[in-house]
C-alpha cells in the first residue's frame, strides 16, 4: 500500500501532474496523470493507493494520453477511423485503449467516415482528373466502408465524369497527333481506364471526339513511315516493302493509305 505524499504540476505540460508516494521506504516519484484523471479519481495528498486502484488510474490515463495524441493527429487534416487506429497502433497503444479513444472521437464528432468520404470525393473531382474507380479504391484503402463510398460517389455526377473524360481525350489527342486513329483510341481507352473511368463513360467520351481529318491521318502515316524507313534501311525489294506494310498496318493505318504511301514514297 502506498500513500500520496505530494502532487506537483509538470513544468512542460501544465495539464499533467506528477504523483509522489511513500510505501514505507521514503518518498519517491510514482507516476504522472492528466488533469482529467486527477479530478476523476480525486487524487490528493494522504490518499492510499492499492494495486487495483493504481491499475484503474493508469488505464484511464492511458486513454487520455492516446486521445490527446489522436486529436493532435486529427488537427492537421480529416482522418478516417482506420487511419486513427493505424496511427495509434504504430504508437504501440493497446487495442482496448484504442477502442475507447475511437468511441470518444465519435462522441465528440472528431471522427465521421461518412462525412470524410463525401469531402474526399468532392476534393478529388475538383482538383484532379481521377475517375470514380480510382477514388473508390483510394477510399477503400483508407478503411471506408463500401456502402459509404458508393453513397459519397453520388457527388460525382455522370455529366461531370463525362466532361472530365472528354477533356482528357482532347489533351491526349493533341499529344498523340502522330498516331493513327486506331492507336489513338487504344491509348485513350488505356489512359481513361488507368484514371479510373467506367467503360460506358470511356466509350462515350472517345465517341464524342471529332474523327481525324484525312490530312492529319496522312501526316501521321508519313511520320511513322519515316521512322520505319530508318529501321528497315538495310532491307531491300519485296521484303522491305512487306515489312514496311506490316509495320504501318500494326500502327493502325488503313491498307489502302499504306499502299498509296508506299507507291509514292519508296523506290521501286
Rounded CA-CA distance 180/193 in Å is 20
Task: Tell me what pLDDT residue 262 has.
Answer: 85
Which pTM was predicted? Answer: 0.73
Residue 21 maps to a domain: yes
Based on the domain organization, do 173 and 119 belong to the same domain?
no
Q: Which three cell numbers, joined as nine digits, stand for 193? A: 481506364
Rounded CA-CA distance 117/27 in Å is 53
Q: What is the DSSP letter of 44?
A: -
β-bridge pairing 2-9 and 27-34: unpaired
Q: Where are the alpha helices (DSSP H) in 91-157?
A: 95-107, 113-127, 132-141, 146-152
**pLDDT digit string, tens, across residues 94-124:** 999 999 999 999 999 999 999 999 999 999 9
Rounded CA-CA distance 43/49 in Å is 10
177 against 65, higher pLDDT: 65
40 against 223, higher pLDDT: 40
Based on the domain organization, do 72 and 7 belong to the same domain?
yes
Q: Give the range of the structural domain holding residue 171, as residue numbers without chain letter.
A: 158-207
Please state, for a pLDDT cut of 70, what percent of the chain lies above it. Answer: 97
Residue 94 maps to a domain: no
Check pLDDT > 60 for residue 267. Answer: no
What's the CATH code of the domain at 14? Answer: 1.10.10.10
256 against 167, higher pLDDT: 167
Check pLDDT > 80 for residue 266. Answer: no
Based on the domain organization, do 141 and 118 belong to the same domain?
yes
Task: Tell me what pLDDT residue 256 has.
Answer: 82
Instruction: For residues 240-248, give the mean pLDDT.
Output: 84
Task: Tell me what pLDDT residue 117 has.
Answer: 97
Check pLDDT > 90 for residue 226. Answer: no
Instruction: For residues 177-187, give the mean pLDDT.
Output: 86
Based on the domain organization, do 13 and 58 belong to the same domain?
yes
User: What confidence tier does 227 reach under pLDDT thresholds 50, 70, 90?
Assistant: confident
Task: Tell me what pLDDT residue 201 has.
Answer: 96
234 against 4, higher pLDDT: 4
Task: Tell me what pLDDT residue 150 has.
Answer: 97
Check pLDDT > 80 for residue 228. Answer: yes
What's the CATH code of the domain at 194? Answer: 1.10.10
Q: Helix 81-90 vs helix 51-74: angle between axes, to the nearest 10 degrees?
A: 120
Residue 168 maps to a domain: yes
**pLDDT digit string, tens, across residues 199-225:** 999 999 998 876 666 677 777 878 888
**pLDDT digit string, tens, across residues 43-83:** 999 999 998 999 999 999 999 999 999 999 999 899 999 99
Check pLDDT > 80 for residue 137. Answer: yes
Based on the domain organization, do 164 and 145 belong to the same domain?
no
The answer to whether 34 and 43 have CB atoms below 8 angstroms apart is no
Based on the domain organization, do 11 and 70 belong to the same domain?
yes
Task: Tell me what pLDDT residue 268 has.
Answer: 46
Based on the domain organization, do 221 and 237 belong to the same domain?
yes
Count of domains in the chain? 4
Residue 104 maps to a domain: no
Amino acid at each position: 500500500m502506498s500513500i500520496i505524499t505530494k502532487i506537483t504540476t509538470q513544468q512542460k505540460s501544465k495539464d499533467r501532474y506528477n504523483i509522489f508516494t511513500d510505501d514505507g521506504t521514503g518518498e519517491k516519484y510514482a507516476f504522472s496523470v492528466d488533469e482529467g484523471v486527477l479530478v476523476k479519481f480525486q487524487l490528493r495528498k494522504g490518499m492510499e493507493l492499492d494495486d487495483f486502484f493504481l491499475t484503474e488510474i493508469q488505464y484511464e490515463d492511458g486513454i487520455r494520453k492516446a486521445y490527446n495524441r489522436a486529436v493532435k493527429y486529427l488537427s492537421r487534416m480529416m482522418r478516417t477511423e482506420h487511419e486513427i487506429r493505424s496511427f495509434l497502433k504504430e504508437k504501440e497503444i493497446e487495442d482496448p485503449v484504442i477502442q475507447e479513444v475511437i468511441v470518444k472521437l465519435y462522441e465528440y464528432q472528431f471522427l465521421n467516415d461518412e462525412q470524410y468520404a463525401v469531402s474526399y470525393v468532392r476534393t478529388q473531382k475538383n482538383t484532379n482528373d481521377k475517375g470514380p474507380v480510382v477514388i473508390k479504391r483510394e477510399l477503400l484503402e483508407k478503411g471506408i466502408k463500401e456502402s459509404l463510398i458508393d453513397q459519397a460517389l453520388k457527388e460525382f455526377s455522370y455529366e461531370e465524369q463525362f466532361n472530365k473524360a472528354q477533356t482528357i481525350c482532347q489533351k491526349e489527342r493533341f499529344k498523340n497527333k502522330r498516331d493513327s486513329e486506331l492507336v489513338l483510341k487504344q491509348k485513350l481507352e488505356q489512359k481513361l481506364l488507368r484514371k479510373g473511368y467506367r467503360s460506358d463513360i470511356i466509350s462515350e467520351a472517345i465517341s464524342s471526339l471529332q474523327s481525324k481529318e484525312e490530312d492529319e491521318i496522312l501526316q501521321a502515316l508519313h511520320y511513322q513511315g519515316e521512322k520505319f524507313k530508318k529501321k528497315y534501311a538495310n532491307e531491300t525489294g519485296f521484303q522491305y516493302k512487306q515489312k514496311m506494310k506490316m509495320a504501318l498496318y500494326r500502327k493502325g493505318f488503313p491498307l489502302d493509305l499504306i499502299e498509296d504511301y508506299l507507291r509514292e514514297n519508296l523506290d521501286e
